[in-house]
Structures are given as C-alpha cells and as structure tokens.
Amino acid sequence: MRVALEATALSISSGGLARYTSELSLALARCFPDDQFFLISDQPFAMPEGAPPNLLRGGAPRNAIERRWWLWGILREMSRLHADLIHGPDFAVPYIPRYPSVLTLHDLSPWMDEKWHHAADRVRGRTPLLLELGLATMIITPGESVRKQAIERFRLRPERVVAVPEAAASRFRPVPSLARPPRDYFLFVGTLEPRKNIPELVEAWREVRREFPIDLVLAGRRRADFPEVAPEPGLQILGEVPDQQLSELYSSALAFVYPSLYEGFGLPVLEAMQCGACVIASPAVKEVGGDAPLYASGIRELADAMRLVLTNREVAFQRRTESLARAAQFSWESTARTTYDVYQEARRRFAE
C-alpha cells in the first residue's frame, strides 16, 4: 500500500498534533516495511528524525491552482505519488473524495468553547461538513469517549468511527537522577493555552507554597492567545524543551500536574507515566490515566493532592509504580497496526 499522510502539523515545532503525526508515520513505516508512506503538505515542514527508508517526503503545490491544497493540490500530489489512500491527522481530508480517506478527530474542543481556540474557525466550519457529508471514508478518534461524542454530535454511523489509542514515544523512559534537584518541584508539560487551566494550577501551587518550599515548572510552547505568566519566586517558565530534557523533568518531578479542562487523550500524561512520574490530573484524562493518577478538580482539590504527595512519599512511590504499569499498556506499534487496519477498511468501503 502507498499511503499519503498530510503533514502540515509538522510545520509546528511542538504540540500533540505534531507528536501524533511524527510518531504515527514513523511507527507505520517500521511496522510495514513493504509499504510506502509519504508525508505531504502545502507548508514547509521537518521530516521526523530517524525516518526509515519507506517514510518519504512527498511533494507540495506546484502552481497557483494546487495552492488550493485541500481542493486540488493534495489530489494532484496523490496522483503523482500513485497513492492508494490519504490520512488527514489534523481534522481534515480532501474536499473531493477521489481516494479512500481517513480523518483523525482528536477531540471536540473546537466546538465546546470558542475561548479555547482563538484560531480554529476553519476547523469549526470545515470539519463538520467533511464528516456529515461522508467525505471521510473512516474516522479515527484517540479513545471511546471522543468516539461516542463524535457519533452523537455529527450523526456518524458507528461502524465508520474507530477508537485508536495513542502512545508515548519509546524515548520517554525513567532517567536516573545523578543529583537531586536543588528544590523539589511540581511539573506541567504542554502547550500553554486556555484549555489547560494553568491559572488554577498556579493558584493551587501558591497555596501549597505558603506551607512548603516547592517550585512549579511550566514547560511548553506558549500559544498566542495565552497571556504571559508573570514571574514570581519559585515559578520556572521554561518554554519548549527537547525530549531528552523532558524525560529528565518528568523523572525528577515530585509530581506531574495536568489540570486540563478537557482532553481527547492527554499525551503528556502518558509521557509522564512512562517516565515513572507520580501524576495529579483532572478527570478529563481518566481514559488514558486509568487508576494511576491522583484525580483532582478545582484549586482546593489540586492543592490537597499536592500536599498529599509532599507529606506522604509512600503515596508518591505507589503512584509512580502504577504509572509505569499503566503506560506499558500503550505503544506506537499497537497504534500503527490498528491504524493500518482502519486503512484497509477504508479501502474496502471505498470500493463498495
């Protein structure tokens, strides 16, 4: 099979969409060496590091007509590549259904609260039409909760929607600390955006810091619609950090805290668990977290969970153990193989 994956998400330096596109394409190429996988986009993007020989860079628009990417350009590029199927990992597929297509619907956040996404007007308007008109042959969601939400909201046939869990990259592993950090810290990793509920996290940490000398570390790209976080003692704002440093941060944190208001999956939670971190999280990530995290909602519950981890290291140790066990249930190989099955189903359905 020759599969084209739309790779515009890779033009962004970080975030869940970029991680998904990169890790899925790598895993597909490794699991299916006899097939070819092409990353294509109308935007410049970096190829994933360590790409196998059968993961290739496809072309881009060649003229003004093809710059109308989702209408004409992507179809012409697929024709040049002799592709059998197109996968849109970022809420979209071509507007003209000439080929079998798979659309990944990561969550329903663009339609839940406009304040969560300042630049999602195109997704809000385009994706429902693609789904309701049946232009996507098959739809992938990262979990059952999003699958059920999508079926209900967009009136989809259940047999067209498949839940395919994601995974943490294999490079996220516990990193032995050669020296203890100068001060214990709670850690948040993710894009700094309204949905992640950072103000409540900071306020809960402030309450705890009045009693304990504990820092808060925020790591991740700040989106344009998220206000600057004012510096204060004990608050470290790192911005984007490389994955190797992320593994160290996850491993050394007293706890990873993820108070997001809504998630389709919650990939940073799984990365943290795979590094053996104790996790404090909102119930929005229960499907991926299982029984491993301490769940908390609101400033008071977050602060109480932080205090518990600070005062009862046995609890923290137990949660670390459960994190590793839970994370071991996910892998990108499994994700790739299930996704490949969806590709095959899309081809069968398109031929009917």
235-239 and 215-219 beta bridge pairing: parallel
pLDDT in tens, 275-292: 999 999 999 999 999 999
Lowest-confidence range among 7-16, 231-240, 327-336? Answer: 7-16
The answer on pLDDT for 200 being more than 80 is yes
pLDDT in tens, 51-87: 999 999 999 999 999 999 999 999 999 999 999 999 9
pLDDT in tens, 326-344: 999 999 999 999 999 999 9
φ, ψ dihedrals at 69, nearest 5°:
-60, -55
Locate CATH 3.40.50.2000 in the chain: 2-167+331-351, 185-327
61 Cβ neighbours under 8 A, 6+ residues apart: 42, 67, 69, 73, 77
215-219 and 2-6 beta bridge pairing: unpaired
pLDDT band at 118 (very low <50, low <70, confident <90, very high): low
167 Cβ neighbours under 8 A, 6+ residues apart: 23, 270, 330, 331, 332, 334, 335
CATH of 2-167+331-351, one of 3.30.200.190, 3.40.50.1820, 3.40.50.300, 3.40.50.2000: 3.40.50.2000
Q: Name the one residue in this structure whose structure tokens are 């309450």.
A: 207
Report the amino acid identity of residue 33.
P
Q: Which helix (H) or strand (E) holds 281?
A: strand 279-281
φ, ψ dihedrals at 6, nearest 5°:
-75, 125
CATH topology of domain 185-327: Rossmann fold (3.40.50)
